[in-house]
Chains A and B, each alone.
Chain A
Amino acid sequence: MEAGALMAAMGPHPASSFQPAVAGEAYTDAEVMLRVKAGDESAFDYLVQKYRRPLVSFMYRMARNTAAAEDLAQEVFLRVYRSRQTYEASAKFTTWLYRIATNLAVNHARDTRHERPEVTVSLDEPDEETGTTLDVPDSKSTAEEFLVRRERMLAIRAKVEALPERQKLAVIMHKYQQMDYKQIADVLKLSESATKSLLFRAYETLREQLKEFV
């Protein structure tokens, strides 16, 4: 498949020629990745479409801003593509994917440790800092409520960010990526019981530190 054809299929409204399920037979992502390895680039497009949103949100919570998150998520896809020839279906695809993502995110966090993110407060634009578009307040009371909510969101983010690295990773994968213990354990190269206790300590800390906001 020509690069151009792949690109054509990669627009915002892609018409991927790859069918993940044919005649009731569903492919696992590992099988799809093996097709990428074999040169089927529509299979790669399928994986991009499936994981672009989860990866951007994962990176958004790991990095400090939206632009960095998108850049890092793109880098994950580039590394997946780059290493397609050496891919072995021995591990679950998502484990492999999140291991790449985790390494990039941890590296990025270390490189930008001392940078403070820009804080922009705007009531009618998407909030750079929290990443959300809060409803435009139409009265004084809702404006106050908006600020309270925003304050709370920044506190949540700060408390998650302040967790030790592995606890933070575990919480983000568990709470926001809906991954189970087994998957998280595989990504972090820990036992399931170690992962459970890691998560438990993290949630205990968050429960304690976010008390004032509940």
Chain B
Amino acid sequence: MNPVIISITDLQKIYHMGDVQVPALQGVSFEIRRGEFVAIMGPSGSGKSTLMNLIGCLDMPSAGRYQLDGVDVEQLSGDDLAAVRARKLGFVFQQYNLLPRQSALRNVEMPLIYRGMPATERRHRAGIALRIVGMGDRMDHRPNELSGGQQQRVAIARALVGSPSVILADEPTGALDSKTGIEIMRILQRLNREQGLTILVVTHEHDIAAFAQRILHISDGKLVRDEQLQSNLVA
């Protein structure tokens, strides 16, 4: 069995809105091993995005413990968290979040700027990342010259470019039609199989979740079911 890469113990998150406290996560525990492809499902407002943001080190838990690759994330300083985001994690957002004025290539090389990589090396890697997602012939296109599915592929290339251990995708197919959504899931599945990337995907759709090997069902801020899929969709 592969080693544990994400270990979450009794994780809680309470949002404060003025005097009102919103308990978005109320004690969630699970482990994910290196190379797993996990889907997170649950009704709207159940805390899926909250969980993803905590795993992605974009936000801090109110209580509980989160270890990424053996490191206690709560202990890290701002700069160390940035380093973790740059090196261990890759994000894919529902709304792609590409920089509108820049080409696909420059969007993909952007994370490497913050690692001090020289421009030629950055472009070389970004080019490879774009080819991996099948966008090798659209490198100079700006986001508004690309379809939604193509934009999401560029976003995946951006998540890949720093060779992270984990890719986190919060409803990556939410803005796409089902055909394009499946196309995106195929790419993620390939990355999982061929490059051994650990992948977490939040989704509402069973078709999409079916690509994973395991589904975490969340409801009202709690993990209600941890489902291993016997035969997930095989490429």
Are A and B co-members of a single complex? no
Residues on A lying within 8 angstroms of B by beta carbon are none
Residues on B lying within 8 angstroms of A by beta carbon are none
